[in-house]
Amino acid sequence: MIGIAVLSGFGVGAIVGMTGVGGGSLMTPLLMSVFRLHPALAIGTDLWFAGLTKTSGAIAHHRHGQVDWRIAKLLLAGSIPASLATIALMHLTGLSQGWSSALTLTLGIALLLTAVTVAYRRAWHAVGLRLERHIAVARKPLLTALCGVLLGVLVSLSSIGAGAIGATLILLLHPRLEARHVVGTDIAHAVPLTLVAGVGHASLGHVDWALLALLLVGSLPGIWLGAQLARKLPERLVRTLLCASLVAAGLKVIY
Residue 149 has pLDDT above 90, yes or no: yes
Q: Which pTM value belongs to this model?
A: 0.84
Q: With bands split at pLDDT 50, 70 and 90, how would you rate the model's confidence at 225? A: confident
Amino acid at 18: M
pLDDT at 200: 94
Residue span of the structural domain in which 110 resides? 2-254
The string of pLDDT tens digits covering residues 107-136 is 788 878 878 887 777 788 888 888 888 888
Instruction: Annotate the chain with DSSP letters as a single string.
Output: -HHHHHHHHHHHHHHHHHHS--HHHHHHHHHHHTS---HHHHHHHHHHHHHHHHHHHHHHHHHTT---HHHHHHHHHHHHHHHHHHHHHHHHH-S-HHHHHHHHHHHHHHHHHHHHHHHTHHHHHHHHHHHHTTS-GGGHHHHHHHHHHHHHHHHHHHS-STTHHHHHHHHHH-TTS-HHHHHHHHHHHHHHHHHHHHHHHHHTT---HHHHHHHHHHHHHHHHHHHHHTTTS-HHHHHHHHHHHHHHHHHHHH-
Angle formed at CA 232 by CA 119 and CA 240, multiple of 5 degrees: 20
Of 23-27, 58-62, 99-103, 135-139, highest mean pLDDT: 135-139
The string of pLDDT tens digits covering residues 8-43 is 888 887 877 666 665 667 788 889 888 999 888 999
For residues 242 and 51, the model is more confident at 51
Q: With bands split at pLDDT 50, 70 and 90, how would you rate the model's confidence at 152? A: very high
Angle formed at CA 85 by CA 201 and CA 169, multiple of 5 degrees: 90
Q: With bands split at pLDDT 50, 70 and 90, how would you rate the model's confidence at 91? A: confident
CB neighbour list of residue 192: distance below 8 Å, 6 or more residues apart: 76, 80
pLDDT at 194: 94
C-beta of residue 252 within 8 angstroms of C-beta of residue 30: no
Indicate the number of domains in the chain.
1
How buried is residue 205: exposed, middle or buried, by Cβ count under 10 Å (0-12/13-18/19+)?
exposed
Q: CA 68 to CA 65: how far, in whole Å?
A: 8
Query: Is the C-alpha dihedral spanning 25, 30, 33, 36 positive or negative?
Result: negative
Mean pLDDT of the chain: 84
